Amino acid sequence: MTKILVTVKRIPDPDENLKFANGGLDLSSVKWVPNAFDEYAVETALRLAEDVGSKKTKHAEIIVLSICPAKQRQHMTQFLAMGGDRGVIVDANDADYDTAAIAKMIAKVAQDEGVDMVITGKLSQDNEGNQVGQRVAALLGWPQACFAAEVDWDQGSNSLKVAREVDDGVETKQVPLPALVTVDLRVVLPTSVRNGINPADHKFTDGPRLASLRGITMAKRKKVKTVTPADLGVESAGGEKTTTINKPAARAAGQMVGSVEELVEKLATEAKVL
Amino acid sequence: MAGTNPLIRDRDVDFQLYEVHDAEQLCKLPHFAEHTREIFDLWLRSAAKLAREQFYPAFKPMDEKGAELIDGRIKSPEGMAELFDAAVDLGLITAARPESVGGSQLPLTVSVVGYLYLMAGNSGAVGYPLLTAGAAHLIESFGSEALKATFMKRMYAGEWVGTMSLTEPGAGSGLGDITSTATPIEGREAEGAHHIRGSKIFISGGDLDFRDNIVHLTLARRPGDPPGVKGISLFAVPRLRPSAGLEDPSNEDAGEGEIAVEFNDVHTSQLIHKIGWKGLPSLGLSYGEADDCVGWIVGEPCRGLSYMFQMMNEARILVGANGTATASAAYHQSVDYARERKQGRSLDPRQKTKEPIPIIEHPDVKRMLLRQKAIVEASMCLVMTASRYNDVAEHGANEGDRKRARMILDILTPITKTFPAERGFESTSLALQIHGGYGYSSEYLPELWFREQRLNSIHEGTTTIQGLDLLGRKVVANMGQSLMVLMEEIRADIEVARKDGVDEALCEAVKIEVARVGGLTQVLGQRGMSGDVLGMMAHSHDYLCLFSNFIVAWQWLRMAGAASRGLTEAHDPDSEAFYRAKLEAARYWIRTELPDNARLAELCESNEDSYLKVPDSAW
């Protein structure tokens, strides 16, 4: 059966205010939530795998991969509850590794599992790096289709037709499998993902599906394999270093000026921008 | 309209579940042993998301265009079908049901929070799944295996829906006077089939267009059965009946898949125009106009009302949840508005600016906000307290624990039903007030919550009924035994609060109320025993208010204890502010609202009788 690897990440809740301490982010009391684009990635994989006419038939096995401390895996449970078949956890604090090291780990898991597709979110909402998917494709030597808004799986020709969000509109690309896809927001519209089996006009519920109570209790029984970065041949955290993270300086109060002349005067002499 | 209103704040849910009610402790009971905090949290996150992203955005449009009655059938409001599907997918209907009937065995303490989120988003839309769950639960508890296979399974799966069909035009609160009849069908006695005839009114969700079939759990009287409540039986009456009769439960796939059905002579006779909850139509139903309506008896004959009453605790807790949820959504909206709306200048001489200030800075607006907060959060705590006793009453470790919890739950139920409804209405009214002229306009939501909230004092037993139930049935009828158990629990909690470092004056104030409520109850009980039942019950409403103020003070003391514990470990400003606000709300309730009990007790004790003395002709 076709195997799809989906990468997922937990991030500090983007709806909460950031706290800073000692030249970095204070994450001691943050609420961890799944990265929204990873929810879209899992939803994309589920729609590719599903046969809407028969709940029992599936067209792909979905493996969910996360690099996170093994004990902090609530996001993994959620993705398995949505419908992922099994999980792989790389027991490490992902923030300690740069994108190159992260990409190496993912590529190795993809090879070890012998997957046919890797689907990732286009970026994670915390640092918005937008690098991992592209790096993984390069390491594997696979074609990539990034920022997918629509995905068509042609099982006959073993390829994906992907409509990509690009600066001046939408570009459509055909990639042979194995391939890597990163997904964008519109991929979770009701008719964005087609697998050639479900009726072309089938409408999925808008947005990524919720973890149902039954799904959550079943997820607790699904298999999750834990490995270490060393198991995957990654010994170094990589070359990137974060020196400090600071809050931007607060904006100073504005001034009311009486005339255009005064404004020009102040811009020239005080602000020195003219 | 999907604004930033959180409806129910997640941080408050965590506080209630894990810091006040210790929900994880429930996982030690065998019935809940499969559960963990992770399961609770993940499911509640799904519920919150569904509430915020789907139920709430549909709220105002459903109010503007509710259900319609067209050619004898209900056309459901736009979007209702999707919301029902989503609630079914979430697992709401079977969340607390046992695995043996396809449920997830979640504690009610947790599943009620799922309801809270969704109700805060859209009360009416929660009606269909909630009523379906209640109706199926009746069949699960009392119905035959054939009824379970035919109806319950499909209802729990969300394929068919259900209603509670009790009220008649001439019998609302007084159900003993119902006139619907059920005549045994000759030759079909074994399956319990009867011909049903009669009319029902105010049947919530009695028809719809997004499912084919709807099963009405209907009260009716068989010929020859005694008059009054003792002769009422319960029937399952579907709109479409299985053409070949009930399914054989011994078939492995009974209750699954399609079965042939035919019209069962149940008609929608009337759509009642109402001021809120428009997503959930309230209907008149007519059974057996062509003498061809079949209903199957549920359980034993003449036990209908007592079966209904066994379901009542849960149903009334859920009405309390609704009052809480509606007041919560309105509260968060008014906080948001008060921060943004600028009016008037500061009275504080240190304040240098001459610009208008956000109204949240005015002391009287703060007063209105704190009153809302005190009501909303105590209501939530109360709903969860009752739910937790319900969990222990049903699944406690031993009979002693179960019995004790049942006794306390019995007393708490009328208060859990009433306080969030009555005080929640006042709270919702304050939200409207804070919005000023805009609050009175239909452009803004507070007037809508105000209309929605009003129902909670009426359905599932009016406030009057709850007052009679509390004093007459729950307190006096068992000679105050349940009250004694409850008081033991409260006295123990006062000591816990003391140890947690809660202000001594607050602990003492609640202790004084233990004595006051106990003493007053004795006076009223003796008045009743001596034959003056009218004298005992004339102030049942005041007694209910007094008792509620007291129970809510207990809730605030428990929350204050949890907040004090939290403060000692809080090391960021947000957590500190969160806990400090809890302590201030506790102080507010005990200092500002609880003292009203002296006046209420005096009214009850002196039997102030102005309303009884007004000559009838002069009203």
Query: CB distance B572–A78 less than 8 Å?
Result: no
- For residue B352, pLDDT over 90 is answered with no
User: Whole-prediction pTM value?
Assistant: 0.94
CA distance B38 to chain A (A): 7
Question: Peptide bond before B349: cis, by omega within 30 degrees of 0?
Answer: no
The stretch B79-100 carries a mean pLDDT of 96
Q: What letter represents residue A132's amino acid?
A: V
Q: How many residues does chain A have?
A: 274
- For residue B18, pLDDT over 90 is answered with yes
Angle between helices A36-49 and A74-82 (to 10 degrees): 30
Q: What is the dihedral of CA B243, B245, B250, B252, to 10 degrees?
A: 20
* CA dist., res. B334 & res. B95, Å (int): 32
Joined together, the tokens standing for residue B565 give 């514990």
Give the one of A28, A212, A217 whose C-beta lies nearest to B46's C-beta.
A212
Query: Any idea where the domains of chain B sit in the sequence?
Result: 10-136, 144-151+160-303, 467-609
Residue written as tokens 């307190």? B475
The stretch B535-551 carries a mean pLDDT of 97
What are the C-alpha distances in Å from B104 to residues A56, A86, B35, B390, B429? 21, 22, 9, 17, 38
Below-50 pLDDT ranges, chain A? none
CA nearest to A118, candidates A48, A216, A174:
A48
Report DSSP state, residue B177. Answer: G
Task: Identify the helix (H) or strand (E) that includes residue B38.
Answer: helix B37-50
* CA dist., res. B416 & res. B80, Å (int): 29
Confidence at B248, pLDDT banded by 50, 70, 90: very high
- Per-residue pLDDT, B244: 93
Condensed to tens digits (0 to 9), the pLDDT of residues B265-318 reads: 999 999 999 999 999 999 999 999 999 999 999 999 999 999 988 788 889 999
Helices of type H across B104-255: 108-121, 123-142, 145-147, 153-156
* ipTM for the whole complex: 0.89
CATH number of B144-151+160-303: 2.40.110.20
- Average per-residue pLDDT in chain B? 95
Task: Show residues of chain A in contact with B133, CB under 8 Å.
Answer: none
Kindly report which listed range (B414-423, B512-521, B571-580) carries the lowest average pLDDT score.
B571-580
Query: CB distance A217–B46 less than 8 Å?
Result: no
What are the C-alpha distances in Å from B235 to residues B131, B218, B303? 16, 5, 11
- For residue B2, pLDDT over 60 is answered with no
Query: CB distance A212–B572 less than 8 Å?
Result: no
Residue written as tokens 């030249």? A23
Catalytic residue among B168, B394, B452, B460: B460
Task: Show residues of chain A in contact with B91, CB under 8 Å.
Answer: 212-214
Give the one of A29, A74, A209 whose C-beta lies nearest to B575's C-beta.
A29
Q: Are B237 and B165 in contact (CB under 8 A)?
A: yes
Chain A interface test: which of B10, B13, B46 (most A C-beta within 10 Å): B46
- For residue B523, pLDDT over 90 is answered with yes
- Per-residue pLDDT, A67: 97
- Per-residue pLDDT, A17: 84
Give the one of A26, A211, A217 whose C-beta lies nearest to B104's C-beta.
A217
Condensed to tens digits (0 to 9), the pLDDT of residues B109-123 reads: 999 999 999 999 999
CA distance B382 to chain A (A): 25
Query: CB distance B574–A29 less than 8 Å?
Result: yes
* CA dist., res. B95 & res. B13, Å (int): 18
- For residue B185, pLDDT over 50 is answered with yes
CATH number of B10-136: 1.10.540.10
The stretch B402-426 carries a mean pLDDT of 97
- Per-residue pLDDT, A117: 98
CB pairs under 8 A between A and B: 55
Task: Show residues of chain B in contact with A34, CB under 8 Å.
Answer: none
Task: Identify the helix (H) or strand (E) that includes residue B590.
Answer: none
CA distance B42 to chain A (A): 7
Condensed to tens digits (0 to 9), the pLDDT of residues B563-598 reads: 999 999 988 888 999 999 999 999 999 999 999 999
Q: Would you list which residues of chain B are within 8 Å, Cβ to Cβ, of chain A?
A: 10, 34, 36, 38-39, 41-43, 45-46, 49-50, 53, 82, 85-86, 89-91, 94-95, 104, 106, 571-572, 574-575
Query: CB distance A74–B38 less than 8 Å?
Result: yes
The answer to whether B460 is a known catalytic residue is: yes
Condensed to tens digits (0 to 9), the pLDDT of residues A83-128 reads: 999 999 999 999 899 999 999 999 999 999 999 999 999 999 998 9
